[in-house]
Amino acid sequence: MKRTIQKAIPLFAGLSLFALSAISQETSSGTAEVIRIPMQPQYWEYDTAGAEFIMNRGVEAVRIKTGAPLFARGQQFSNGTIEYDIELGEGFPGICFRLSADRKNGENFYLRYFGSTSPEGRTTLQYAAMLDSMSLWDLTDEYQAGAKLNIPGWNHVKLVVSGKQMKAYVNDMDRPALIVPELEAGTTKGGIFFFGGRVTMANLVIRPGAVENLDPAPGYTSVYNDTRYLRSWLVSPATDFAYGKDVVPVLPYMGATTARADLPDSTLKWRPVKAEARGIVNLTRIYGRVVNNGRRLAWLKTTIYSDRPQERMLHLGFSDEIWMFVNGQTMYIDKNHFGSPAQKFPKGRCTIENAVIKLPLKQGKNEILIALANYFYGWGMIARLDDTEGIHLSADGQ
């Protein structure tokens, strides 16, 4: 944060009673509490170079000029409804809620606008968890959707949050634009802030507890019923992996030995890791964000037992680079660098659509070994067989 933000904190200490009492809170018998947070400087912690408070289309508003965050002072949100209006300029503006005390974890919802939009454009809006200050947008492709946006003019956003679930409405208040069956940040209560883009925000209203009968338990995902996903793995510690360095694969004509390859030896320590609700093995949740634009690497392994020799197709998603070995033999090497010619469909995100690989399985035990490197946003992988006939998957990675 810039020093202007740090200076604002002691100033707020002297104004706190005034500020909190001035926030409009409406309650009456049988109705929910309504909290209206004014678009006035004393109610926000922000960089004065990055935002200005103005009148826009007849209402008090804040214009975000640099994408720097604006934190709502004194607000703690758990469950209920959040509503606000946004006039788009450019970028991906949104809101983070249930922000942890260290401001590293929370739930993000945002719009995208870079000069054109349509209701059919499924990247118009997105939900993504923030873990250790890192947005997992590239691991949550399925939490994108389209919406009809007003350009120019106000766009009304309404988020209904209950326990693990969220429904997001954009302009159309009768049909959710996006449904999230399981929020993934792991926080249950916390702060609120606006972020991203050069836009104008207004009319922030919070209704604690107004969940509109939305069930707090995790909702249904089709992955839950699908037995083809490889969900149980062992993972190694993460290590620094310098740019330009490669994992030396097992190559033909190595003199009948793998000694020159970079496969892990018996000294490598392993820990169990389970795929999350959507089938993704999320290494960012384990190891946090990459720092100082670094690159890092971890190994994953699991076991597939086959009743007979057979070939199966493995659908695979990964971020950002992968080296895959089956029974000690090199099977697949590839990159999924967002924004580069090497990025995989869809647009460099980690999804089950990234790649399809033919797996030659022998009768009995088959070891799947993967080296996974990361330098950019979310770090993870997802794997699903085409069929499990004659297949038994490891319950603990071994």
Task: Please identify which residue in the block is written with the tokens 């002297």.
Answer: 14
The answer to whether residues 184 and 254 belong to one domain is no
| pLDDT tens-digit profile, the chain (398 residues) | 333 333 333 322 333 333 444 466 655 445 679 999 999 999 999 999 999 999 999 999 999 988 889 999 999 999 999 999 999 988 899 999 999 999 999 999 999 988 888 888 889 999 999 999 999 999 999 999 999 999 999 999 999 999 999 999 999 999 999 999 999 999 999 999 999 888 999 999 999 999 999 999 999 999 999 999 999 999 999 999 999 999 988 887 766 555 567 899 999 999 999 999 999 999 999 999 998 889 999 999 999 999 999 999 999 999 999 999 999 999 999 999 999 998 999 999 999 999 999 999 999 999 999 999 999 999 999 999 999 999 999 988 88
CATH number at residue 24: 2.60.120.560
Give domain status of residue 150, yes or no: yes
Identify the domain containing residue 162 by its residue range.
Answer: 3-208
Gap between the terminal Cα atoms of the chain: 46
**Distances 343 to 206, 337, 339, 351 between C-alpha atoms, Å:** 40, 5, 6, 12
Rounded CA gap, 261 and 268, in Å?
Answer: 15
The answer to whether residues 339 and 286 belong to one domain is yes
pTM metric for this prediction: 0.90
Give domain status of residue 216, yes or no: no
Q: Which of 315, 300, 250, 305 is nearest to 270 (CA)?
A: 300
Sequence-ordered list of residues with C-beta below 8 angstroms from that of 292, at least 6 positions apart, any chain: none
Backbone angles phi, psi at 137, to 5 degrees: -60, -35
Backbone angles phi, psi at 279, to 5 degrees: 90, 0
How many structural domains are present in the chain?
2
The answer to whether residues 167 and 38 belong to one domain is yes
Rounded CA gap, 302 and 289, in Å?
Answer: 24
